[in-house]
Amino acid sequence: MSTYIDAVAALVPAEVLALHSTILSLTTKTEQDQAGQSITTITDPGTLRWAFWSLIAVSIVLYIVRRLPTKDPWDILRVIIPPVAFVAWSMLQKATAFDAAFPGLREVDRTVIALFVAVIFGAIAKALADKADKEDSSRAGKKRP
């Protein structure tokens, strides 16, 4: 499972992951049960729910801001990769903002959905990256010293 978590996390802006971590520290509490297991409880589901949707928006904005100068038409497709990767990552983790946004989704369902999303969007991200690399190398070959 950790391979899939790492793979989708690599497609999420670091700022979004850092914000998520900080927001979780403000909207949850972690305690140990009788058996010594850590139990995380969402203490402010409303805030965590809107934070989830806001983190998706931030991942889109960050991508657009960084890619704006390139004006590559393929960025219309590429812009969906960071938010989808964030959702998949939060689905694969335990006790995330996804829990506040979709409290009724069973853990097994969310995990299986996220695994499929990780594989499909990982392949899409790779294909789009390969296309960008090929275009960059062909542009570099046309330049004269």
The helix/strand/coil state of 104 is coil
Residue 80 pLDDT: 93
CB 29 within 8 A of CB 43: yes
> How would DSSP label each residue in 6-60?
HHHHTTS-HHHHHHHHHHHHHHEEEEE-TTS-EEEEES-HHHHHHHHHHHHHHHH
**Which residue has better confidence, 137 or 101?**
101
Tens digit of pLDDT for each residue in 103-122?
999 999 999 999 999 999 98
Whether the model clears a pTM of 0.85, i.e. scores above it, the answer is yes
Tens digit of pLDDT for each residue in 34-56?
999 999 999 999 999 999 999 99
Question: What is the C-alpha separation between 37 and 138, in angstroms, rounded?
Answer: 55
User: Dihedral of CA 3/5/8/14: which sign?
Assistant: negative
Residue 17 is which amino acid?
L
CB 10 within 8 A of CB 122: no
CB 3 within 8 A of CB 83: no
Confidence check: pLDDT of 127 > 60: yes
Name, in order, each residue with C-beta under 8 angstroms of 140's C-beta and a sequence gap of 6 or more. none
Residue 39: φ, ψ to 5° = -120, 120
Domain ranges of the chain: 2-140
Confidence check: pLDDT of 140 > 70: no
Residue 14's pLDDT band (boundaries 50, 70, 90)?
A: very high
Map tokens 């899409």 to a residue.
124
